[in-house]
Chain A
Amino acid sequence: QKEVEQDPGPLSVPEGAIVSLNCTYSNSAFQYFMWYRQYSRKGPELLMYTYSSGNKEDGRFTAQVDKSSKYISLFIRDSQPSDSATYLCAMRTNSGGSNYKLTFGKGTLLTVNP
């Protein structure tokens, strides 16, 4: 079992839809959780960064963490064609000598159709 599992999709939705992206993980030492967006042939860029269980909202994006279930989600409201990209979850520990190292999911390819 990989440390981080993410459904690669692809996911295709109409403009205006609510999108739900998810990752599960097996390492209970993961404490910091991130979502990155990667446009085609570009580097990943940080979208959301969370530490505690619960929800964090930033504009149309909401990140949700459930540490008891080892499950994280990213919700996109009122999705736009410009949201079409690959979304990668990433996480890291808070202790030990390797807490700089991010472990990534494989990414979910999202297409928002106008």
Chain B
Amino acid sequence: GAGVSQSPSNKVTEKGKDVELRCDPISGHTALYWYRQSLGQGLEFLIYFQGNSAPDKSGLPSDRFSAERTGGSVSTLTIQRTQQEDSAVYLCASSSIWGGELFFGEGSRLTVL
């Protein structure tokens, strides 16, 4: 596609449920990033992929969060046993080269009731 595509755009879930958020990066972009944007906060780095490998998972808030990337393309961020503090906008970005300009998707807005 022309840009980074994320789905779902909005997700409302109940506390304790698992959610999956999907990111489809710009074709050919090898680097993929997940950030979280909470109300009143800046973007918080979660994880970075180079190809299918995640050399840096240091930003994942807890072991309830995991992410994978397959075929060097689509990535899925999974949050298990969601908590209310997980409510945020989850943004995905991709870049053509390591350290290059990041192109962001529109985000997945997660609300945990």
Count, chain B residues at interface, CB 8 A? 24
Q: Summarize B's interface: helix, strand, loop or mixed.
A: strand
Which of B11-19, B69-77, B79-87, B95-103 forms contacts with chain A? B95-103
Shortest A104–chain B CB gap in Å is 4
**By the criterion CB–CB under 8 Å, are B55 and A6 in contact?**
no
Pick the residue among B33, B43, B56, B105 that contacts A98 (CB under 8 A): B56
Interface centre among A43, A98, A101, A104 (most CB of B within 10 A): A43
A97 CB-CB contact with B under 8 Å: yes
Shortest B106–chain A CB gap in Å is 5
B40 CB-CB contact with A under 8 Å: yes
Query: A6-B42, A104-B43, A107-B42 given. 11 additional CB < 8 A pairs?
Result: A4-B42, A43-B104, A43-B107, A44-B91, A46-B102, A88-B42, A98-B56, A100-B48, A101-B56, A104-B35, A105-B42
B4 CB-CB contact with A under 8 Å: yes
List the 8 closest pairs (A to B, CB-CB), nearest first. A43-B104, A104-B42, A104-B43, A106-B42, A43-B106, A44-B104, A43-B105, A100-B99
A41 CB-CB contact with B under 8 Å: yes
Q: Which residues of B contact A (CB under 8 A)?
A: 4, 31, 33, 35, 40-45, 48, 55-56, 91, 93, 98-99, 101-102, 104-107, 109
Give the tally of cross-chain contacts (CB within 8 A).
Answer: 52
**By the criterion CB–CB under 8 Å, are A44 and B99 in contact?**
no
The number of chain A residues touching the other chain, given as a range, is 20 to 34
Write out the residue numbers on chain B whose beta carbons fall within 8 Å of the beta carbon of A101.
45, 48, 56
Q: List 6 A-B contacts (CB under 8 A).
A: A43-B4, A43-B107, A44-B91, A100-B99, A101-B45, A102-B43
Measured CA separation A98–B56 after assembly (Å): 8
Write out the residue numbers on chain B whose beta carbons fall within 8 Å of the beta carbon of A102.
43, 45, 102
